[in-house]
Chains A and B, each alone.
Chain A
Amino acid sequence: DAGVIQSPRHEVTEMGQEVTLRCKPISGHNSLFWYRQTMMRGLELLIYFNNNVPIDDSGMPEDRFSAKMPNASFSTLKIQPSEPRDSAVYFCASSLFVDSPEGYTFGSGTRLTVV
């Protein structure tokens, strides 16, 4: 299995531009999570999907952030318009089911820099 695949690995964009981050979870995993990691705040859960349905998006910082999961093998996180304070590493993670004792499998992350 190739693991959780995220793209792009690095993204540099100008303030005000739209940014789309992509994630392919492990096949068969029913739960998908988007996290943001910064030095100041550590790991923050942005949104959680179960069976492609958004269950909890309370961690999404603002309306500028949106996430979709059109099918079991693909999810996107979009920021429009982007701002410098959105600069962070964004991780996607998946797990077999919601409280799987096997834990999460994380993707390699997307390092976003907004200038």
Chain B
Amino acid sequence: AQSVSQHNHHVILSEAASLELGCNYSYGGTVNLFWYVQYPGQHLQLLLKYFSGDPLVKGIKGFEAEFIKSKFSFNLRKPSVQWSDTAEYFCAVNGLGTYKYIFGTGTRLKVLA
């Protein structure tokens, strides 16, 4: 079955701490991979994406993610979080030639000032 798993539902960090949010997917084919961020009360915004090439992708606001094909993973990282990174983060997978995104259940990140 096609699925996306985000193992951490809630994460609390202090400012300047490092962040890694896990994302694993199950999909039998070539995929595009995305991380979206939803700030409190706002809509989802694209943070970064991978569709080919360098498996280490860099996004906005200092975020990066690494695609490890052998592990079916696409973990999100940031070396030093800020209070303004408090948000919910969604991993998503989209199979090539298909329309349906599969979203993970989201990880709520709270950064303490």
Binding site for B on A (CB under 8 A): 31, 33, 42-43, 45, 48, 50, 55-56, 91, 93, 98-99, 101-109
Chain A contact residues: over half helix, strand or loop, or mixed? Answer: strand
B110 at the interface (CB under 8 A from A): no
Cα separation A13 to B15 with both chains bound (whole Å):
41
**Nearest CB to that of A49 among chain B residues?**
B99
Binding site for A on B (CB under 8 A): 32, 34, 36, 42-46, 49, 51-52, 90, 92, 94-101, 103, 105-106
Hey, which chain A residues are within 8 Å of B99, CB to CB? Answer: 31, 33, 48, 50, 55-56, 98-99
Counting chain A CB atoms within 10 Å of each CB, which of B44, B45, B90, B92 scores highest? Answer: B44
Q: How far is the CB of A60 from chain B (nearest CB, A)?
A: 14
Cα separation A108 to B38 with both chains bound (whole Å):
10
Q: Is the CB of A106 within 8 A of B43?
A: yes
Q: Is the CB of A102 within 8 A of B49?
A: yes
Hey, which chain B residues are within 8 Å of A101, CB to CB? Answer: 32, 49, 51-52
Q: How far is the CB of B104 from chain A (nearest CB, A)?
A: 8
